[in-house]
Structure 1
Amino acid sequence: MAKGQTTAASAQLNTIKRGLNKPKYAHYELKVEDLETNHIVLVHGGGFGAWCWYKTITLLEEGGFKVDAVDLTGSGVHSFDTNRITSLGQYVKPLTDLLEKLEDGKKVILLGHDFGGACISFAMELFPSKVAKAVFVAAAMLNSGQSTLDMFSQQANSNDLMRQAQIFLYANGNDQPPTAIDLNKSLLRELLFGLSPAKDVALASVSMRPIPFAPVLEKLSLSKEKYGSVRRFYIETSDDECIPLSLQQSMINSNTPEQVFRLKGSDHSPFFSKPQALHKLLVEISKIPRQKSND
């Protein structure tokens, strides 16, 4: 991400923090020096941007974490035209640029939501030595050779709401494949924010952008030596209308992470509906030590 875009994103997040009433959440004691890393990188889902993490950023920073929330290409305040994104690598470039610039020996905890799960998986394959842990939150946790579209296709017949909400965009003409997917604003609350505060739904309705189609189609190439070497954790969302719990559990069963946690009473967007509980789990996951080998 260019310097000007990074500054703009920071300014937007600061404005959001100041403009909305700040909840009085509990504080969780943290000994930063005991952690493998206190640096968490937040990766938004399809259509979202760094703006969606404003509560999580505030809580983590108050707890002593260093936090980066990226705007993926064509998302949030990133100015690129979503319809011109032709690959997953292009879409996740702001994330891979951040990891590439990390100092030698430094690691981060990657957190991906929704389509952000595929994005952090792509980054884990490229930079496994720079990722201490990966946290999938109601996210696409795919097998090698699988695309995000493949994952959603598993429950396409049972999710009428998702089909109704999708609006395909054809920037190259109606006789060409779709270039992006938009979401029907009238169905956003039911699909993504059923248990979220009204002010957060309002924020999302004016901030969300179309989802690039090509990255959703792209099949991941993941190896045991790279992607498989990173410790993975999954956080389920119990009342999710977008990626239902049954689909989350199907991904968990076919690509088993180290541990699974559940956010009860959470819609698809726990950073809005259950920010305090999400924060508590992130702190807990950050403290989980690596199990000693029996070798």
Structure 2
Amino acid sequence: MGNRFICMTKKDAKEIAGTRSKRLGNRSQRKLPSEEELLHRQVLSLALHQSQRFEGSMSRRFNGGNTSSRRRPLSDPFSNGKQLSEFLETLKCKKIVLIHGEGFGAWCWYKTIALLEEAGLLPTALDLAGSGIDITDTNHVTKLSEYSKPLIDHLQNLPEDEKVILVGHSIGGACVSYAMEQYPEKIAKVIFVCATMVSNGQRPFDVFADELGSAENFMQQSKFLVHGNGKEKAPTGFMFEKQQMKGLYFHQSPAKDVALAMVSMRPIPLGPVMEELWLSPEKYGSCRRFYVQTLDDHALSPDVQEKLVRENPPEGVFKIKGSDHCPFFSKPQSLHKILVEIAQIS
């Protein structure tokens, strides 16, 4: 009896092993979608269903309440072009204007641009005056209105019935705020990405006081100042040393992106960041604002970002864990998903 039992068990085990091997063989022959296809499906699925859940690296807050995200299985709702077209038609505003921060240029958004275009949105990245490949001499940019001119020109040239979503990074948030005061009717939503979301009468530089010291001490003692008109005259800008920039901005970013930044960043005009912004409830206050916090940020600490949100509360707050001051480099997919969700909020 015992021998028969052992014999049957071996036979059963052999059959089970054969069946399993066959299944594994079939599975290995299936064509797995590429990483890009998976990302594309995931993003479009989130946008279509107005999903309220994201990767564990992100959380968000609306009207004072926290909502943490959990990942869930995603189906592919865009198996044909008709469904994709229907998704695009649900968005009233598909144009997104990306405004870089201090020293950067339109080039820093290259990953975000590619992801947004793949999702069917219409991104435009601008070079502020004296930034990126803009030919303006940085030493001649002395006012926020001059620094923001490419953005203001872009808004002025929009068709009368057209609006855009503005995204401002770091000190670019001051330019976005200035634009909100000038052309609120052209702006559907504003997204501040670890940005200087200043209050009325505040200077953009004041936001960084915890890291850089007071504006007065910085102007007198900083070794990063640029004297474009000669040492005997007032400084015209500032620029950090490479190692300083790496520690402040890029400690979580890929080496290739850091290398790109090191050869692309330009001096920061001093006048615009030392200028007070005057923002009215009727204009600036009429625009819908959202804030994206970066929780491993050395340039604008999470505590400072939280303070900005408390002092000038936006409609919604999103957080990205593990991101340095440049989420478009260190966490591009997480940033992208947030931008997509905000774009489709009605």
Percent sequence identity over matched residues? Answer: 52
SS in 2 for 1:183: coil
Task: Name the stretch that deviates more: 255-264 or 29-38.
Answer: 29-38
Q: 2: distance between equivalents of 1:148 and 1:252?
A: 15
Q: Is the 8 A contact 2:211 2:299 kept in 1?
A: no
Q: Which residue of 1 aligns with 2:275?
A: 218
Q: Which ranges in structure 2 are unaligned for 5 or more consecutive residues? A: 1-34, 48-86
Q: Which residue of 2 aligns with 1:16?
A: none
Question: TM-score, normalized by length of structure 2?
Answer: 0.73
Q: 2: distance between equivalents of 1:193 and 1:180?
A: 21
Q: Which residue of 2 aligns with 1:227?
A: 284
Question: TM-score, normalized by length of structure 1?
Answer: 0.86
Q: CA deviation at 1:261?
A: 0.4
1:86 aligns with 2:99: no
Q: Is the 8 A contact 1:155 1:247 kept in 2?
A: no
Aligned to 1:172, which of 229, 235, 247?
Answer: 229
1:107 aligns with 2:163: yes
CA shift digits 1:218-277 (9 cap, x unpaired): 100110000000000000000000000011111111000000000111000000000000
2:252 partner amino acid: L
Q: Is the 8 A contact 1:166 1:184 kept in 2?
A: no
Q: 2: distance between equivalents of 1:165 and 1:178?
A: 10
Task: Name the stretch that deviates more: 186-195 or 55-64.
Answer: 186-195
Q: CA deviation at 1:48?
A: 0.2
CA shift digits 1:134-174 (9 cap, x unpaired): 0000000001111112222255459xxx9999610112233
Change (3 A) 1:157 1:211: closer
Q: Is the 8 A contact 1:113 1:136 kept in 2?
A: yes
- Map 1:200-279 onto structure 2 (within 5 A): 200-279=257-336
Q: Is the 8 A contact 1:165 1:183 kept in 2?
A: no
1:61 partner amino acid: E
Q: Is the 8 A contact 2:95 2:164 kept in 1?
A: yes
1:202 partner amino acid: A
Aligned residue pair count: 265
Q: 2: distance between equivalents of 1:93 and 1:52?
A: 19
Q: 1: distance between equivalents of 2:88 and 2:287?
A: 21
1:26 aligns with 2:39: yes
1:26 partner amino acid: L
1:139 partner amino acid: A
CA shift digits 1:109-151 (9 cap, x unpaired): 0000000100100001101011000000000000111111222
SS in 2 for 1:143: coil
Q: Which runs of 4+ in 1 moved over 4 A?
A: 162-166
